[in-house]
Amino acid sequence: MADKTHRARITPEEALAYHMDPRPGKYDIVASTPMTTQRDLSLAYSPGVAVPVQAIADQPETAYDYTTKGNMVAVISNGTAILGMGNLGALASKPVMEGKAVLFKRFADVNAIDIELDTEDAEEIINAVRLMGPTFGGINLEDIKAPECFIIEQRLKELMDIPVFHDDQHGTAVICAAGLINALELSGKKIEDVRIVLNGAGAAGIACLELLKSMGARHENCIMCDTKGVIYQGRTEGMNQWKSAHAAVTDARSLEEAMKGADVFLGVSAKGAVTQEMVQSMAENPVIFAMANPDPEITPEDAHAVRPDAIVATGRSDYPNQVNNVLGFPYLFRGALDIHARAINDDMKIACARALAELAREDVPDEVAVAYGRKLQFGRDYIIPTPFDPRLIHVVPPAVAQAGMDTGVARRPIIDMEGYVQTLRARMDPTATILQGIHARARQKQARMIFAEGDDPRVLRAAVAWQRRGMGQALVVGRESDVKDKLAAEGLADAAREITVVNAGNSRHLDAYHEFLYARLQRKGVDREDAQKMANRDRHIFGALMLAHGHGDGLVTGATRKNAPVLAQIGHVFDLRPQDGAVGITGVLHNGRIVLIGDTLVHEWPEAEDLADIATRGAAVARGLGLEPRVAFLSFSNFGYPVSERAIKMAEAPKVLDQRGVDFEYEGEMTVDVALNPESAARYPFSRLTGPANVLVVPARHSASISVKLLQEMAGATVIGPILTGAPHPIQICSTTSTVNDILNMAAISAGGLGMIK
């Protein structure tokens, strides 16, 4: 069960800052073709563009070949039903629609543009969207109030020859159906036999019931309720044509009466709508989907208190079995777009639900379980896959696409389904998944994180975020008054009460710290007075002493001072020399790929044995990130040519690993293109690497630094690290250019113990 004390707190200031920085909004438009020379421009626009124009005029279906239409979705709203906030207007809905657009991209590599229509007239919306048909491969309607949403969707489906999908209706329905398939499997019941009660006769509720009926639920076994009670045949108050279609023949008039003996409860209504007495009256092994947000109709704790045999799902991420639309809409559209579908029909939605249900029954990859900090195994607390399961992208869209082809809505059927699955595997950028895993592991640890540089506003903001995101306790080294003033200047005055400030000048542990440091350094020319001054005056040393004495669980520092002197200062407290096994590994993420580069921190000029150590540390970090390591020892030569004494050690390092009998792939020496480019690698068929390398061992620290910074500055790569590995305690050192998020990432790496991998 979820621990409520660890739930993240998001402040208004954080939410506004997230949407404002580094520039307003949540996405950019980026060119996918070269735009550097006059020739490029001539091809992109006039005169070259005339050729695809004519081709599309002659054969309209080629628009999918020559434009972005085939991977472009419009996210459309008029802001009449924004989240749970009501009718706030089209402009106010824009942050939500931008968010939906980036979810499309993040989870299924679908390009999406948000469009907010400033009208509540259904006919105006229908006409506006219809006229945009040539631009898009699909339409995602969002946050439009009922009953207009029903009218708009139905008419657009009739008028347009591309998929039109109202996610508030069908997205919820698909995930609900997926969870129910597995819940009924676990409870030993069949959908055609169970009694279903649904509370909340809005867009989502009606869509849920309609989809379940199309999957086999019998009309006479289903009761729908709204704020006025049961929707029964003959009722006239508060009715419309969509509710009337689900009116039941029943004597029950209230939700309480309807719940007696029910097998399934589906809630898309309001907090507290279901009582423990109602749950107690349900049939054996009841299924309860309390999907109201942000608070469910009944909490899992309250439901299980009276019915331990219940299977419970909610819409919340801090409980098991989250009914989350992001499991559905990105993959439905991915599959539909890839067959150039004319529509998303019930068969495609059912295929999506069944694929999700089947995925939840499969063995969960270790990296997913690690990311969520608990064992995930098909059962009562795991009936729906987690949103960050990397298999979703290549499991769900093929099922959707196949259903679309089987039902005749595909313009361009997929011939090689296995090849299609492989292209889906290759689409996704691992960056977000990797970072999610790092932060999830850290959140599970609930570490007391020492932020050693309490005089830097970035560090203070990171410490506050650590505390408020439920990552653990933030311990900030600094002076109380200074920290308070700096937080106030950042608009975070109230956070001074949340974080713990540790002042080196008045710590009650100073005597113990002094003795410890003096004992370590007394034979290195440091007397007792020197040791006291070092502990009192150097925050890096003081933070390390806190960690050494168990007064914190992890340390992050280095944002205000270069790596080398920070490492040297911490080295007074811990053994962090090359001969002690310390190695710095930096993760570089770019264009959907990740490589780990080492050593970026400790070894100035490593020899063959050192290079082998670096490779082993890099392979361990790779596995900690969920990657199967493939190590390349880099040089300017390939396997002995051209001959150079500078490359000898890079050729010797693999021989050291041969002697050690390590359990990961490695090869070298080789140039970087041979390591990363399959076409270049094909010239060396004897290479032991089975694919592009993901751990790059370079000749020296200066070449590692140059490589990382060049990729960061010229290519805009995301850099994680350097990750200090081989340290006796969880310590991570930031760079002086670190942003608040960078510092948070390093703190999460420290807390998660990634650097502690041996």
State the catalytic residues: 45, 100
The 3-state secondary structure of 283-331, one letter per residue:
CCCCEEEECCCCCCCCCHHHHHHHCCCCEEEECCCCCCCECCHHHCHHH
The answer to whether 256 and 198 have CB atoms below 8 angstroms apart is no
The answer to whether 567 and 602 have CB atoms below 8 angstroms apart is yes
Q: Residue 593 corresponds to which tokens in the numbers above? A: 């790929």
Q: Residue 239 corresponds to which tokens in the numbers above? A: 């009715």
**Alpha-carbon separation of residue 734 from 469, 564, 748 (angstroms):** 20, 11, 12
CA 653-659-665 angle, to 5 degrees, is: 65
The answer to whether 581 and 590 have CB atoms below 8 angstroms apart is no
Q: At what angle do helices 539-548 and 528-537 cross, to 10 degrees?
A: 100
Q: Positive or negative CA dihedral for 243, 249, 254, 260?
A: negative
Centroid of chain to Cα 473: 23
The answer to whether 575 and 704 have CB atoms below 8 angstroms apart is no
- The residue with tokens 């975020």 is 465
Q: How far apart are CA 453 and CA 460, in angstroms?
A: 8
The answer to whether 622 and 628 have CB atoms below 8 angstroms apart is yes
The candidate with the shortest Cα–Cα distance to 749, out of 728, 738, 734, is 734
The candidate with the shortest Cα–Cα distance to 149, out of 131, 118, 178, 170, is 170
Phi, psi (rounded to 5 degrees) for 68 = -80, 0
CB atoms within 10 A of CB 252: 18
CA 434-312-144 angle, to 5 degrees, is: 75
Q: How far apart are CA 75 and CA 138, in angstroms?
A: 9
Sorted by sequence, the CB contacts under 8 Å of residue 341 that are 6+ apart come out as 138, 162, 163, 335, 348, 404, 409, 410, 411
Query: Parallel, antiparallel, or unpaired: how do β-strands 718-725 and 583-590 relate?
Result: antiparallel
Over its C-alpha atoms, the chain yields an Rg (Å, rounded) of 29
Q: How far apart are CA 730 and CA 574, in angstroms?
A: 11
The answer to whether 544 and 571 have CB atoms below 8 angstroms apart is no
Q: Positive or negative CA dihedral for 240, 119, 172, 156?
A: positive
